[in-house]
Every structure is written in C-alpha cells, then in structure tokens.
Amino acid sequence: MARRLIPALLILLAFAIPPKARARTVYRCVRDGTVSLATAPEPGSQCFAKELDDNAAILPNLWGTMGVVHGTLYQRTQDGKTVYSTRNLPGSTRVLAFTVKTPEGSPAHAGLGKVGAPRLGEFPRQFKAAANATGVDEAWLRAIAHAESAYDANAISVKNAKGVMQLMPDVIADYGVKDPFSAKESIMAGARHLKTLQTLYEGDLTLVAAAYNAGIGAVTQYGGVPPYVETQEYVAKVQALYARYRKAMGLAALPVQLQPAQ
C-alpha cells in the first residue's frame, strides 16, 4: 500500500474501535529508547494509557518531539483480541505504512550534570540557607542542582538556562534574580521555584521534576510527564540523585521512589 501523509494516531483509531465510541484508549509504549503507539499494552514495553475524546477538535501528539516519523501499522492477536501497534511484534502482519510530522523541538533540556557521587561540599551555606528559608528538602534541592549544572555557577544551556540551578529567563524575572550566575541568588530562586511547584502539584516530585525541566505548560498539556526524551531521562536522573543525596546526608530512604507519571 502506498505511503500516506496522515497522523499515525488516526490510523490506530480507525481500526481499533467502532465508530460509535465516544472515547478510546491508546497506549504510548517505550522500549529500548523507541516509541510506539498501540491499542493494547505491548509485552516487554513500558506503556502509558491515554484516553482520547472523539469529539476533541485537536488530537494530542503522543509521539513526542521526533521530527518526521516514518513507520508501519501492524495487526496481531493478543489475549484473543485483534490489536494494532506501530511496533513489529512476533505474530504481526503489516497493515499499512504511514508518515507523520511531529514537533522538531521541545522546551525541555537534558541537563548538564550526570548521575554520580553526591557532592555535599558544593556551596554548603547557600543550600542550607535556601532549604531552611523555603522548606524544600536540601537533598532534593541538591539533586536538582546536580542534574541541572553539576554545580557550575557559570553554566549556560542551549535553551539559555543559566547558573547553578539553570534558571530560565522567565524564572529569573519571576523571582527578581539580578545575577543568575551568583550561586547564592540562583540556589535561592531555584528553591523558591521548587517550593511553588511542590505546592502546585501537592508534593508529587515526579511532576515537580518534569515541570522544572519542561515547564508547567508542558505538564498541563500532556497531563503528566511530557513525552520528551529529555524530560523522561531527566526525571530518572533526578530520581537516582535524590536517593543518593538522602543516603549521603544520613536521611531515611523514601518509602516510594519517584516514578514517571502516567
């Protein structure tokens, strides 16, 4: 069948559920760093369900920021039912090819720090003061700083985030930061921003991390962690760092680890 320029999501919906349905579920599945869409959870993949309203004027982009996606829709039987997926799983047969254009970029960034050993000697007075002033866990504040800049007060990202806490221009303006490269100002503003996010998301640190990385608008748009590779990797990195910093500071391990929101 000839390759077509139509949204892959619509292809899935056209085959998956009778026309009279008012809403349907599509699964965004991730495996080995690759994304697929399916009408049922895929074995071996981490899948997140998305409820779609047939009456919506615009269907959401579930692919993420991947540029132009060329793929194939496959059909197979799972648990006695016919299901469709853009991943070629065992027992699949080809239905049709598709091309779909997704956004080229995202507001998110991967961060400049890598997961590694905790570095408690970096700016001790500034972190303690910011934690005490805002009530933000110092281990959490340090995990964000480590992931963002690796404590480089002069760091600038490709998204124009600046300083230890990699403050974006709007955050710099919102919190009255005069010098984003001042470790004291950056850490305090970062802590205040994290406090605002923790209040907004009622303590859900997964959403806090996602919003710090990609912005509140992106989290609102997708109803959780945005489908940006940068943000998903960032949340996992912060999760690991937070656990390491709490251990290094002699704090009890969290009863529930951060997990990507569904």
Return the pLDDT at 97: 86
Closest CA to 239 of 251, 220, 253: 253
The partner residues of 81 in beta bridges, in order of sequence, read: 78
The CATH architecture one would assign to domain 124-248 is: Orthogonal Bundle (1.10)
pLDDT of amino acid 6? 36
Summary mean pLDDT of the chain: 83
Which region among 95-99, 159-163, 172-176 has the lowest average model confidence (pLDDT)?
95-99
The pLDDT of residue 5 is: 33
What DSSP line would sit under 85-154, residue for residue? ESS--TT-EEEEEEEEE--S--S----S--S-S--TTSSHHHHHHHHHHH---HHHHHHHHHHHHTT-TT
3-class secondary structure for 37-96? EECCCCCCCEEEEEEEECCCCCCCCCCCCCCEEEEEEEEEEECCEEEEECCCCCCCEEEE
- The more confident residue out of 158 and 247 is 247
170 pLDDT exceeds 90? no
Per-residue pLDDT tens digits for 123-151: 999 999 999 999 999 999 999 999 999 99
Query: What values do phi and psi take at 8, rounded to 5?
Result: -65, -35
Residue intervals of the chain classified under CATH 1.10.530.10 are 124-248
CB neighbour list of residue 90: distance below 8 Å, 6 or more residues apart: 76
- Catalytic residue, candidates 42, 122, 148, 230: 148
Its pTM stands at 0.61
148 is annotated as an active-site residue: yes
> For 2-6, 39-43, 110-114, 195-199, which range has the lowest pLDDT when averaged over its residues?
2-6
Sequence-ordered list of residues with C-beta below 8 angstroms from that of 72, at least 6 positions apart, any chain? 86, 88, 94, 95, 96, 97, 98
Distance of CA 73 to the CA centre of its chain: 26
| Residue range 228-241: mean pLDDT, rounded | 89
pLDDT in tens, 76-116: 999 999 999 999 999 999 998 888 776 656 778 878 898 88
Share of the chain above pLDDT 90, in %: 49
State the pLDDT confidence band at 65, using cuts at 50, 70 and 90.
Answer: low
